[in-house]
Amino acid sequence: MATVLVIEDEKTLRDNLVRILNAQGHDVITAADGDQGIRHARERRPDLVICDILMPQVDGYGVLAELRARPETAAVPFIFVTASADEADLARGLQSGANGYVTKPFTIAELLAAVRRWLPAGQDG
Amino acid sequence: MPAVSHLEPDFLAAALNVARIGICFVDDQGLFIEVNPAFCELTGFAREELIGRAWTIAAPPEAAANAERFLRAVLSDSARVPGQWKIRRKNGGMVEALVSFRPLTRGDGRRCAVLTFADLTARIAEHTERIRRHRDVLLGLAALDKSDLRAALGQILAADAATLGIERVSYWSLEDSATAIRCEALYILSRGGTDDGFAGTRLHAADYPTYFSALLGDRPIAADDAQRDPATREFASGYLRPLGITSMLDVPVWFQGKVVGVICHEHIGPPREWSGEDIAFASSAASMISLAHEQARWEDAMKALTRSEEKYRQVVENANEAIAVVQDGRIRYANLQCTRLSGFTLEELYARPFLDFVHGEDAPMVMGNYLKRLRGEDADASYEFRIIDKAGLTHWVHINAVAMEWESRPATLNFLTDVTERHELQENLRRSLAEREVILKTAPVGISFASNRRHRWVNDAFAAMLGYDKSELVGQSSRMHFDDQESWETFGAEAYPVLTAGGTYVAERLMKRKDGSRFWCQVSGNAVDPGDLARGSIWINVDVTERRRAEQEILRTLEKEKELNELKSRFVAMTSHEFRTPLATILSSAELLEQYGPRLPAGEQQALHQSIRAGVERMTRMLENVLIIGRSEAQMLEFQPVPTDLAGFCGRLAEEMKLAAGRGHSLDYSFEGARRTVSVDEKLLRHVLVNLISNAFKYSPPDGTVRFRVSLADAEAAFEVADRGIGIPPEDQPRLFETFHRARNVGNISGTGLGLAIVKKSLELHGGTIRFDSAPGRGTQFRVTIPLGD
């Protein structure tokens, strides 16, 4: 069992992410924007962060940079979920220190494969 | 008279008898008392025929009264002077005699007179002979060929010496300044020739002032006693005495009104008393020398004339110009060059009317000029025409013609030069100049020739591009095309060093037209002579307004293309993002229903189905938006107004938007005006309002309020949508309604860039307007009006 932070401004998609992760037995914390996401990450110390890139205010890159900058959140596995299929964006995401990258639209299997890969052993569902 | 009384009376009688002169005694009654044989011989009368007769018998009848008066004067002792008396001989002849007389008193106290008559006939004859001889000599000298002055001088001096019997006769020329005389020739009678050694001797006026002044006094100097005569005694010691000269007769020689020399007669031997004849002869000899001068001069002139005539003939014959004399329409004289020019022989030239040689087209003009010239009217003295040579070729000739007399009748003297080559060159030059002139005049570029920064020549195009008349530009400073003195000076300071270096100065600059408007002009200048700018410079001016416009057009097009490319990639990115997000929802919802559907609570299942539907609707809207833009750009968007209750329509729309608003956004809606039905295209109006309101939400902070006001007036409906969002940067405002254009400050806020473009297109169909007022960070207010046609 693990605690997963989902940062996604699109409510319906956020809800679906919660449903998918809950179904795997994970605790899910949600945030509708970057700031909220950073706050939850610090306070709740999730085991994994799933974050959208394009968001109002602080975007996904901002969130990642912020988490990596703090010792308590620096090591948290971080997966981008993005609508951009651009290879340049993919490269940028990975260079910025993200652990995984899932492009929209994604199948449940794809998402869970990424989650399983980056969750500490024994914590995946 | 010595007393004779102591002689025997017979002695006296014997003396009377032998005397060779006629002696007669006449009493106080004028009667002969006694005559001697010589008197009888002189008169031709016998002694008996005379004694007791009146003495007037021996006088000419017309002189009888004179004879009586004369006798009375003699008797009264009042007649003194012996004189020449004409005696009438018995046979009626006359004898010239020299008469002497003396009154006597007889023993009875009565007066009488003795008269002697010396016969002058012989002396007169001798005198006459001498005169004749003088005359013959002079005639001889007159007939003498005096063309050779020196030869003539020798002959004149020889004849003079021989005639007058003078040892030394010389001719001296007076030097021009009259300060000296120079011996030209000296004839020595005893030697029978000239003393050439003496010629060249000079006597100076300074040494013989008296002689020179006498000489210039223009009268002959006749010095019987030369060594004492005031005029000649200056020569006595140094000249006369050594040479034994006793008498001198010097006569000036005149020529052309002045004394040019002197003929000198120097007599050696007993002093000689110069007679009138001597002087007259010497004067004649002097005249002969004058004549010799005259003839020699004439001779020289004639020789010179002959020489110069020959010279002119040579000149004319060999002149490089063709020279022809035309009279009566024919060539009367032609030089060699005429034959070379025409190819005709002289005979051929002389044989035909001169007009035959002239080109047919020029013949009337040439003939006209010829006739005018002959009549003494004004005619072109110098012109050009064509001739046809023997080979039939045309030559251009230049003619200089003057009227003249040829063998005492009117003619023309013509100088002709073949100018064919020059003419062809000129023609070529003229043609090429004309071509160039045309090129320069009609060139579409403005051309100006300037010196000292002033226009000296401009072509039409130059004047036209500046809006001036050419005459307004020539002489003017180029300053007039510049905005101010400084820019003009700067231009000069940049351009002229390039010109001086022999380069072409090229620049693009704004030029001012006459009307003050400006245009871009490419100006290029070259110095005519880089070493001497004063010779001017040529400036080519090209109006590059069009080119620059085209360039800018191209730049704009390129910019637009670049923008389009950006838009395209933005569209791709937009569609990618905007479609992938609902697709992600749809896909995940569908999978959740698939995998967990039956186990999910009914509410959850419904929410998942709903999210699929919402995602599809969202995608459909976006597709619609893209289609609307596509249709509108293809002019295929339809405008279908229908009667609409505007308040009801707007109220429903406001509710709809309120429901769709997320993140705590609220909509403050109000409607003003009477509720009525107006004619609008609901679909289009919906596009307008939905886009404006959803944009307002999208760019507002969370919890922000959007104001939506509708006011319905008689003629129009106004819609106002205002937010306090991020605002629109001024740089983006002008392009706000362009397709896919999104303001630079949108950040990660998703959007298609289609909304406002659709608003604009929709309003255009409605004939409506849209304005906005926006400041970054403070918000934006859009105001839309739609006219309400009846």
Q: Tokens 């004179």 label which residue?
A: B66
| Span of B80-84, B219-223, B684-688 with lowest mean pLDDT | B80-84
Strands B779-787 and B769-775: antiparallel
B383: which 2 tokens?
């012109």
**B171: closest CA among B271, B287, B273?**
B287
The confidence score (pLDDT) of residue A20 equals 92
CA-CA distance, B70 to B57, in Å (whole number)?
14
pLDDT reported for residue B3? 46
Give the H/E segment covering residue B75: helix B64-75
Q: A57: distance to nearest CA of chain B, Å?
A: 7
Q: What is the reported pLDDT for B130? A: 81
**Interchain pair A12, B589: CB under 8 A:** yes
Q: Interhelix angle for A11-23 vs A108-118, to 10°?
A: 60
Cα–Cα dist B286/B163, whole Å: 14
Q: Work out the percent of chain B whose per-residue pLDDT is above 90.
A: 28
User: Tens digits of per-residue pLDDT, B278-301?
Assistant: 888 888 888 888 888 888 888 888
Interatomic CA distance for residues B337 and B316, integer angstroms: 9
Mark yes or no for CB contact B748/A54 under 8 Å.
yes
Architecture of domain B130-299: 2-Layer Sandwich (3.30)
CB spacing of B583 vs A105 below 8 angstroms: yes
Q: Which of these, B499, B494, B519, lies nearest to B509 by C-alpha position? A: B519
User: What's residue B80's pLDDT?
Assistant: 63
A32 has a chain B CB within 8 A of its CB? yes
CA distance A106 to chain B (A): 6
| Smallest Cα distance from B588 to chain A, Å | 6
- What's the CATH fold of domain B637-787? Heat Shock Protein 90 (3.30.565)
Residue B519 tokens, joined: 């245009």
Q: How confident is the model over B257-278, as pLDDT tens digits?
A: 888 899 999 999 888 889 888 8
Q: CA B336, CA B325: separation in Å to the nearest integer?
A: 13
Q: Do residue B576 and residue A86 have CB atoms under 8 angstroms apart?
A: yes
Q: Which residues of B45-78 are buried (b: 16+ CB within 10 A; e: fewer)?
A: beeeebeeebbbbbbeeeebeebeebbeebbeee
Q: Percent of chain A beyond pLDDT 70? A: 93
pTM of the full structure: 0.41
Same fold flag, B9-119 and B544-635 = no
Q: Tell me which long-range contacts B502-508 makes (C-beta under 8 A, separation of at least 24).
A: B502/B527, B502/B530, B508/B544
Q: How far is CA B712 from the centre of its chain?
A: 91
Considering only the beta carbons, identify the residue of B573, B584, B663 that sits closest to A106: B584
* Binary contact (A83, B578; C-beta < 8 A): yes
pLDDT band at B1 (very low <50, low <70, confident <90, very high): very low
Structural domains present in chain A = 3-118 (3.40.50.2300)
Per-domain residue ranges of chain B: 9-119, 130-299, 319-425, 443-543, 544-635, 637-787
Among the residue ranges A80-94, B15-29, B40-54, the one predicted with the least confidence is A80-94
As a dihedral over the C-alpha atoms of residue B374, residue B375, residue B379, residue B385, rounded to 10 degrees, the angle is: -40
Asked: is B319-425 a CATH 3.30.450.20 domain? The reply is: yes
Mean pLDDT of B387-414: 90
Q: Does B607 touch chain A (CB under 8 A)?
A: yes
Based on its alpha-carbon atoms, the radius of gyration of chain B, rounded to whole angstroms, reads: 73
Contact A19 B596 (CB under 8 A): yes
State the smallest CA–CA distance between residue B599 and chain A in angstroms. 11
Distance CA B586, CA B582 (A): 6
Record: contact B580-A16, CB cut-off 8 A: no
Alpha-carbon separation of residue B785 from B319, B695, B772, B774 (angstroms): 103, 18, 12, 18
CA gap B413, B411 in Å, rounded = 7
Across A21-25, B93-97, B136-140, the highest mean pLDDT is recorded for A21-25
pLDDT of residue A47: 93
pLDDT mean over B706-719: 93
Instruction: Please check whether residue B569 touches A, CB under 8 A.
Output: no
pLDDT band at B769 (very low <50, low <70, confident <90, very high): very high
Q: Residue B82 has what pLDDT?
A: 65
- For residue B333, what are its two tokens? 């004289």
Task: Just give the CATH number of B9-119.
Answer: 3.30.450.20
CA separation for the pair B189, B163 (Å, rounded): 10
Q: Do A32 and B608 touch (CB under 8 A)?
A: no
* Residue B703 one-letter amino acid: D
Closest CA to B461 of B541, B537, B549: B541
**Contact B580/A104, CB-based, under 8 Å?**
yes
Which chain B residue has its CA at the smallest distance from A54's CA? B748
* A88 in B contact zone (CB under 8 Å): no
Class of domain B443-543: alpha beta
Name, in order, each residue with C-beta under 8 angstroms of A95's C-beta and a sequence gap of 6 or more: none
Which residues have a Cβ under 8 Å from the Cβ of B526 and sit 6 or more positions away? Answer: B499, B504, B505, B537, B538
- Give the ranges where B391-544 is alpha helix by DSSP (H): 420-442, 460-466, 470-473, 485-500
The residue of chain A nearest to residue B589, with distances taken between CA atoms, is A16
Asked if the Cβ–Cβ distance from B748 to A55 is below 8 Å, we say: yes
In this structure, are residues B223 and B239 in contact, taking their beta carbons and an 8 Å threshold? no
Q: Which of B587, B611, B750 sits opposite A105 (nearest CB)?
A: B587
Do A77 and A54 contact (CB within 8 A), yes or no?
Answer: no
Q: Do B573 and A84 touch (CB under 8 A)?
A: yes
Of all residues in chain B, the one with the smallest CA distance to A21 is B592
B790: confidence class by pLDDT, cuts 50, 70, 90: low
Tell me the C-alpha to C-alpha distance, in Å, between residue B644 and each of A2, B103, B281, B649: 57, 192, 161, 7
Alpha carbon distances (Å) from B71 to B57, B68, B767: 13, 5, 171
Residue B85 pairs in a beta bridge with: B97
Give me the amino acid identity at B628: I
Q: Give yes or no for a cis peptide into A105 (omega within 30° of 0).
A: yes
Check CB contact of A10 with chain B, cutoff 8 Å.
yes
Q: Report residue B508 as tokens.
A: 């693009």
Length, in residues, of chain B = 790
Instruction: Express as a percent the part of chain B with pLDDT over 70.
Output: 98
Architecture of domain B544-635: Orthogonal Bundle (1.10)
A19–B747 CB contact, under 8 Å: no
**Beta-carbon separation of A20 and B592 below 8 A:** yes
Asked if B580 lies within 8 A of A105 by C-beta distance, the reply is yes
Q: Is the pLDDT of residue A125 over 70?
A: no
* pLDDT given for residue B81 in this prediction: 66
Q: Report the candidate in A33, A88, A42, A91 with the shortest Cα–Cα distance to residue A68.
A: A42
CA distance B705 to chain A (A): 17
- Assign B152 a pLDDT band (cuts: 50, 70, 90): confident
Q: B605 vs chain A: nearest CA distance in angstroms?
A: 11
Arithmetic mean of pLDDT over chain A: 87
Range in A27-41, A64-78, B383-397, B620-634 with the lowest mean pLDDT: B620-634
User: Residue B572 pLDDT more than 80?
Assistant: no
pLDDT at B653 over 80: yes
Mutate to test the interface with B, among A9, A19, A79 (most CBs of B within 10 A): A19
Q: Average the pLDDT over B746-765 and give the result.
A: 84
Q: Which two tokens stand for residue B380?
A: 């072109």
Which of the residues A11, A13, A79, A92 would you substitute to probe the B interface, choosing the one with the greatest number of B C-beta atoms within 10 Å?
A: A13
Average pLDDT over residues B364-385: 87
**Do B605 and A15 contact (CB within 8 A), yes or no?**
no
Residue of B nearest to A112 (CA): B588
CB under 8 Å to B435, separation ≥6 — which residues?
A: none
CA max distance for chain B:
237
pLDDT tens for B495-550 read: 999 999 999 999 998 899 999 999 999 999 999 898 888 889 999 999 888 888 88
Contact call for A104 and B591, based on CB within 8 A: no
Mean pLDDT of B580-600: 89
Nearest to B63 by CA among B83, B80, B33, B45: B83
In B328-430, beta strands by DSSP E: 330-334, 382-388, 394-406, 409-418
